[in-house]
Amino acid sequence: MDALRELDAPDGVRVVVLAAPDDAEERRAVGHDAAKQLVAELAGVRPESVMLDALCSRCGIDHGRPTAYLVSAKDASTAAVSITHTGGFTIVAASIEVDALGIDAELQDTRPDRVAAIDKIAPGRGDPMRRWTRIEAVLKADGRGLRVDPRHVRFLPTLRGSARARIDPPGEESSAAWHVFDLDDPELVVALALP
């Protein structure tokens, strides 16, 4: 794994930024290989011992929330991973200490028309790109992604650089709260959601 850099993340979580190839399949492969490598390093096993499954629970296509499986002769366990792509970057987060996590990123210099579109999809206060990456990270961690209207993600501010969020669709029970962290990066707006 040729990471461009590793971002400071909460204990037990690793986040890396990689250069992303232009080809979508190659980009996907880079993300999956990096996720396996991170899980292997966290668990102290060989990367060949890690399998990645990203089948969508709804349609069965390989675009769902990824889960890493650590397989040995004695047992099997899971690890949480999340992968996102933006611009020429692939960002991967992994942890063997939590059941789920979500990562999202956007370029710091996002085109104004995209910022305006995001602000329309997910209106609110503050920086639209920060708000959007936080929403996407929560929806990815939850596993339903954009099948949930982004306007149903509710935030309660906590410490600077972090927040708590719930998914609160009408007629449904609110989800468990997610902790959302803003990760510093010179080129990207990055958010990480953890249980």
Alpha-carbon distance of 82 to 80, in angstroms, equals 7
How many angstroms separate the CA atoms of 73 and 3, rounded? 30
Q: What is the pLDDT of residues 133-144, one digit of tens each?
A: 999 999 999 887
Buried b (16+ CB within 10 A) or exposed e, 95-114: bbeeebbbbbbbeeebeeee
8-50 pLDDT, tens digit each: 999 999 999 999 999 999 999 999 999 999 999 999 998 899 9
pLDDT of residue 33: 94
Place of tokens 């708000």: 131
pLDDT digits (tens, 9 = 90+) for 159-168: 666 788 988 8
- Tokens representing 106 are 């956007």
Q: E strands of the chain, at which residues? A: 3-7, 14-19, 50-53, 67-71, 76-86, 89-95, 102-107, 153-157, 162-167, 178-183, 188-194
Range of the domain at 136: 5-194
Domains held by the chain: number: 1
Query: Under a CB-based contact definition with an 8 Å cutoff, are residues 91 and 83 in contact?
Result: yes
8 Å CB contact between 7 and 19: no
Report the pLDDT value the prediction gives residue 96, as an integer from 0 to 100: 94
User: Mean pLDDT across the chain, nearest whole number?
Assistant: 88
In this structure, the number of other CB atoms found within 10 A of the CB of residue 19 comes to: 12
